Amino acid sequence: MEPAPILEIITEPSHAVAWSARHRRNGPIGFVPTMGALHEGHLELVHRARSACPTVACSIFVNPLQFNDPRDLERYPRRLQEDARLLEQAGCHMLFAPEKEAIFADFTPGTYDLGGLDRHWEGPSRPGHFQGVVNVVERLFHYVRPDMAFFGEKDRQQLTILQHVAQRLRWPVTIVPCPTVRAADGLALSSRNQRLSPDERETATVLYRALQAMAEKAFSAHPEEALAAGRAVMASEPSVVTDYLAVADGATLAPLEDWPASGRAVALVAAQVGPVRLIDNLTLEVGQ
């Protein structure tokens, strides 16, 4: 087996541009943007990037534009040294870890047409969140100039919005969706899980259990019945406060009155478990 490459750590945006120009000669550059506190979910994106591209970059940038609650931003876990070690082990070539000031120098955030994909779910719960995400992803792409960028289905609405914007604005990058990585008990891996107590960590599996209950009814019972099954599971953990639980069209993410003829739907959930707001989703397919 080839030895893992030495990870280059870059903080200066202009150095990232130069790095990218140097490495593009070897073929496409794969890119995994993150906010750090890396776990197996992030590393799976790096592995997928590695299998598709000879050179892989990852970024760690805790984007202030996408946090609505300043306390959430403040408490977001940060551990750059450990993350760099994990990235090196995973075969990543470059870590772009810019300072906030460097990313926002001479930059006025724009307003993007999100095609109404932010109308539901995370959109109303976190005003300005997706504009913040798209603005920063655009900045990161501007510096790293990837050919392929890997995003998790865990953040389904974010992924769908980025696919939409990239296509609409003809960004010269392919957005590659990657499946959600889960713990053995079904909980979707998330940097925020670290802040759950052992009891809360166990309770948090209710999100996945509710999604599964909905998947069992998908395309056989009415969507309302699927929702009712999910709600019953959520109600079994009274300490968990549901923000939304929904079945939506797989392409438009609009709430469903009936199952779409496309056969593409998604069950979505967001809930507060102790101090942490968690989100998850599951693809629903005919004959699942």
Rg of the Cα trace of the chain?
19
- What are the CB-based long-range contacts (under 8 Å, 24+) for 221-224? 222/258, 223/247, 223/256, 223/257, 223/258, 223/259
Q: Taking CA 125 as the corner, what is the angle to CA 121 and CA 131, rounded to the nearest 5 degrees?
A: 85
Q: What's the rounded Cα separation, in Å, for the pair 139 and 33?
A: 11
Single-letter amino acid, residue 176: V
Which is closer to ligand AMP, CB of 49 or CB of 226? Answer: 49
Q: How many residues bind ligand AMP (CB under 6 A)?
A: 17
Q: Which of 29, 188, 256, 279 binds ligand AMP (CB under 6 A)?
A: 188
The active-site residue out of 15, 23, 39, 42 is 42
**Region binding ligand AMP by CB under 6 A among candidate stretches 48-56, 185-193, 238-246, 262-270:** 185-193
Q: Quote the tokens at residue 192.
A: 């925020």
Residue at token pair 């406060």: 241
**What's the min distance (Å) between Cβ of 238 and ligand AMP?**
26
Choosing from 141, 143, 151, 208, the residue that interacts with ligand AMP (CB under 6 A) is 151
Residue 155 found at the interface with ligand AMP (CB under 6 A): yes
Which residue among 30, 41, 223, 230 contacts ligand AMP (CB under 6 A)?
41
Question: 42 an active-site residue?
Answer: yes
Query: Given CA atoms 123, 249, 115, 31 in this order, what sign does their dihedral have?
Result: positive
Q: Which of residues 44-83 bind ligand AMP (CB under 6 A)?
A: 44-45
Q: Which residues of this chain interact with ligand AMP, rule CB under 6 A? A: 34-35, 41-42, 44-45, 151-152, 154-155, 178, 180-181, 188-191
The set of catalytic residues is 42
